Amino acid sequence: MRMKVRMKLAVLAVVGASVLLSGCAAFFVTGYKALPSGQGVEVEVRNDSNYRMGVIRFPVARDCSGGMSDMTPDSEIKPKTTVTTWVPAGQAIAFHVWANRQEGQITSFCTLYGEFAPEAGQRYVLTFVEPTRFCTFHMQRRDQGGSKLVFDPTFKFRKRRDDTFWNTSPRCYPEGK
């Protein structure tokens, strides 16, 4: 009799854990998804800091939803390096920039959200700069000659949502909140 009860509890525990974990799968970041050759616009991601950083892209900019994928081929961009990637043109893209640095027993961490609407034929530069007091990044695009960087007029910072399940799913507030 006791054996049957234990067996039922073990089965319930396995089934329950499976259901819970399958529900969490939607929160994980998938790897970089390359665009077919010649599609999209170029984004140069520069890490001008001593922090490790990464950029996660959301397909639906309105509320940072639609799944998450690394925006660059490298999920982590090492300090003082640059990575080039491609994103779809003609639609707003929301993204999450994270960065951290370990100094002895102290870990510094920052997380920011942004959105921009890449236009076909343009080249963009996203630069994470060394935090002095607050962490920040710049979204710029190259002028027609390609030599000067100008601030992208479609770029805006987005507010972070902390009401997510165990804060495992980076999200931003929907437009207008």
pLDDT in tens, 152-176: 999 998 877 655 444 445 567 666 6
Straight-line distance from the first to the last Cα atom of the chain, in angstroms, rounded to the nearest whole number: 57
Q: What is the pLDDT of residue 31?
A: 61
pLDDT in tens, 38-77: 678 889 999 999 889 988 888 788 877 777 777 777 778 8
Say if residue 12's pLDDT is above 50. no
Token pair of 151, please? 């601030």
Tokens of 111: 């997380």
Model pLDDT, residue 36: 63
Supply the pTM of this predicted model.
0.73
| pLDDT at 96 (0 to 100) | 85
Check: CB of residue 87 under 8 Å from CB of residue 122. no
pLDDT digits (tens, 9 = 90+) for 89-108: 988 988 888 888 888 888 88
Place of tokens 């259901």: 19
Residue 84 has pLDDT above 80, yes or no: yes
Return all residues near 62 (Cβ < 8 A) that are at least 6 apart.
92, 94, 174, 175
Whole-angstrom Cα distance, residue 142 to residue 122? 7
Q: Give the 3-state secondary structure of residue 4.
A: helix
Q: Which of 14-18, 73-77, 114-118, 160-164 has the highest mean pLDDT?
A: 114-118
The position carrying tokens 């639906």 is 60
Task: Give the number of C-alpha atoms closer than 13 A to the C-alpha of residue 121, restricted to the C-beta side.
Answer: 3
Where do the structural domains in the chain lie, given as residue ranges?
28-167
Query: Would the pLDDT of 134 be above 70?
Result: yes
Q: What is the pLDDT at residue 141?
A: 93
Of 47, 122, 114, 62, nearest in space to 87 by CA: 122
